[in-house]
Amino acid sequence: MIQYAFYILSALSVASALMTVFTRKPVYSVLYLIFFFFTLFGHYILLNAQFLAAVHLIVYAGAIMVLFLFIIMMLNLNKEIEPNKSVVAKFAAVISGGLLMIVVISAMKGVDNIALNHRSDIGLVETLGNVLYNKYMLPFEMVSVLFLTAIVGAVMLGKKEIK
Amino acid sequence: MTGITINHYILLSAVLFCIGVAGVLFRRNAIVIFMCIELMLNSVNLLLTAFSNQHNDPSGQIFVFFIMAVAAAEVAVGLAILVMIYRNARSVDIDFFNKLKE
């Protein structure tokens, strides 16, 4: 049962990732990417990481992709007149992606074939909260500083220059 | 119990990551390139979760939270830069931004 769910979800994620790259219109790219995030949500559920799945959906599909969609619509970029790269450049892009894939997969060839535990409870809020607020307290605080910097940077960049 | 092993997830993440890399090289629209970077970050997130499940260690999932935070900050600043570039150049075509070469 879990096997079939995994294979179906994987096929959907790879297909939607490919469509994200190869669709012409940017808005369709965004929509396919949102679909990709939903398939990843399914993967997280399969791995029994419930809290992570919820956070993933809220942060990515809810916040980041809305930001993308908003920018595309605000700048009115949904035109197909994106000038094509030369055929050589496209060919080189696909070839280098495929070569990288071969290298990564063959580097991971020797990994032990361990079956995953689909009944673990490390994905629960309680476990994650305990680890996050004890072991990773300092990085957690640093993330808040990072966000503050990002907010200031975004406001500074987005502001119109005052002549 | 089930036939799904860590190798399945390694294969899937490698494929997704390489689709992202190919997309960055393939497209010229800067916004789509940003989306391909998100794709790569997400494939890494998936692999981290799978390894955290394999080792029964919650640290992997904590790392995923930090990656999400970095991705959110990166998108906010990156899109602000893109809006600024668009305001100056009226285009988000990256082949147009080779001014540093001159």
| Extents of the domains making up chain A | 1-80+115-122, 124-163
Kindly determine whether residue A26 and residue B61, on different chains, have CB atoms separated by under 8 Å. Answer: no
Residue of chain B minimizing CA distance to A48: B53
Give, to the nearest 10 degrees, the angle between helix A65-75 and helix B30-55: 180
pLDDT at B71 over 80: yes
> Which amino acid would we find at residue B69?
A
Mean of all residue pLDDT scores within chain A? 87
Q: What is the pLDDT of residues A48-99, one digit of tens each?
A: 889 999 999 999 988 899 998 888 888 877 665 666 667 888 888 889 989 9
In CATH, the architecture of A1-80+115-122 is: Up-down Bundle (1.20)
Mean of all residue pLDDT scores within chain B? 87
| Extents of the domains making up chain B | 29-94
Distance CA A49, CA B29 (A): 34
Distance CA A161, CA B3 (A): 59
pLDDT at A163 over 60: no
Which of the four pLDDT bands, split at 50, 70 and 90, describes residue B94?
confident
Q: Pick from B49, B81, B86: which is nearest to A44 by CB? A: B49
| Portion 59-88 of B in contact with A at CB < 8 A | 59, 61-62, 64-66, 68-77, 79-84, 86-87
Residue of chain B minimizing CA distance to A125: B58
Which of the four pLDDT bands, split at 50, 70 and 90, describes residue B41?
very high
pLDDT at B1: 46
Question: Tokens for A9?
Answer: 């979800």
pLDDT at A122: 82
Q: Is residue B20 within 8 Å of A17, Cβ to Cβ?
A: yes
Residues in contact with B20: Cβ distance below 8 Å, sequence separation at least 6, in sequence order: A17, A21, B36, B37, B39, B40, B43
Which of the four pLDDT bands, split at 50, 70 and 90, describes residue A34?
very high
pLDDT at B8 over 90: no
- Report DSSP letters for B30-90, one per residue: HHHHHHHHHHHHHHHHHHHHHHHHHHT-THHHHHHHHHHHHHHHHHHHHHHHHHHHHHHHS
Three-class secondary structure of residue B5 per DSSP: strand
Which chain A residues have a beta carbon less than 8 Å from that of B8?
6, 10
Q: Is residue A158 within 8 Å of B81, Cβ to Cβ?
A: no
- What's the rounded mean pLDDT across residues A14-36? 91
* Residue A107: C-alpha distances to residues A46, B39, B42, B43, B55 (Å): 26, 21, 20, 17, 20
pLDDT at B66: 94
Is A16 an 8 Å CB contact of chain B?
Answer: no
